[in-house]
């Protein structure tokens, strides 16, 4: 029991440190997530002696189909159906003004694509899905729904700058990504789906269609 308690406290501490690293003043976006990725890899290896709990599995042909279908379902349902509903319920659109400056600026667009794949696709999925799921399982046991909800809450908190609607939308995406990871247990699937969704968002921002995400029913 004592060993179990220590394991839970270690997992809680590792999870807290990895989350707080988002707000460390020494690094800037997207390199903050490079630090977090390194911390996750080292912590996981020291904790388990390998990286198996992060579920870096080889992608098979069937996984490509899973990625494409999952992407289309999430893109069409969450971005283009749930987003307007959330905007309406909050009586205001999500605040995506941070991305308005990339409109028509190819250099900024490519720069943000590069940053996004490092921080959001790879970094956030490693932190809020692979690492969080492993540590939360150590803490709470095999309570899958609770783990999905807690990881989604952690995922949405750093997006406070997007306002209430943006916060809710990030939570919804967190739930969706959580169940995707829970179903297939392959972090590469999550990374690619997340990256594709954010690539579409940045591309629409570059083309001047960011208001599409701010539509209110």
Per-residue pLDDT tens digits for 104-122: 999 999 999 999 999 999 9
Element (H, E) at 153: helix 144-156
45 pLDDT above the threshold of 60: yes
The residues, ordered by sequence, that sit 6+ positions from 99 with a Cβ below 8 Å of its Cβ are: 112, 201, 202, 205, 210
Residue 214 confidence (pLDDT): 65
pLDDT of residue 6: 52
pLDDT digits (tens, 9 = 90+) for 130-164: 999 999 999 999 999 999 999 999 999 998 888 88
- pLDDT, one tens digit per residue, over 50-63 is 999 999 999 999 99
Number of structural domains the chain divides into: 1
Reported residue count of the chain is 217
Confidence band for 5, pLDDT divided at 50, 70 and 90: very low
List the domain range (segments joined by +) for residue 133. Answer: 2-214
Mean pLDDT of the chain: 91
Tell me the torsion sign for CA atoms 135, 79, 208, 195: positive
Which residue shows structure tokens 């169940």? Answer: 179
Q: Tell me the CB-side half-sphere exposure of residue 14, using CA atoms within 13 A.
A: 29
Provide the token pair at 132.
Answer: 């969080």
pTM of the model: 0.93
């Amino acid at each position: 029991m004592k060993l179990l308690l220590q394991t839970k406290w270690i997992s809680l501490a590792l999870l807290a440190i990895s989350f707080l690293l988002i707000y460390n003043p020494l690094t800037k976006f997207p390199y903050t997530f490079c630090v977090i990725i390194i911390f996750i890899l080292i912590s996981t290896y020291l904790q388990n002696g390998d990286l198996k709990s992060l579920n870096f599995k080889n992608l098979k042909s069937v996984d490509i189909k899973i990625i494409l279908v999952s992407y289309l379902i999430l893109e069409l349902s969450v971005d283009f159906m749930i987003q307007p509903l959330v905007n309406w319920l909050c009586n205001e659109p999500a605040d995506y003004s941070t991305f308005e400056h990339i409109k028509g600026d190819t250099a900024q667009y490519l720069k943000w694509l590069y940053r996004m794949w490092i921080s959001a696709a790879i970094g956030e999925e490693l932190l809020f899905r692979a690492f969080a799921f492993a540590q939360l399982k150590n803490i709470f046991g095999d309570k899958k729904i609770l783990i999905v909800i807690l990881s989604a809450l952690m995922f949405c908190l750093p997006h406070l700058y997007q306002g209430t609607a943006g916060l809710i939308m990030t939570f919804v995406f967190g739930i969706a990504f959580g169940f995707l990871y829970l179903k297939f247990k392959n972090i590469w699937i999550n990374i690619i789906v997340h990256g594709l969704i954010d690539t579409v968002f940045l591309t629409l921002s570059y083309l001047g269609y960011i208001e599409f995400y701010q539509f209110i029913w």
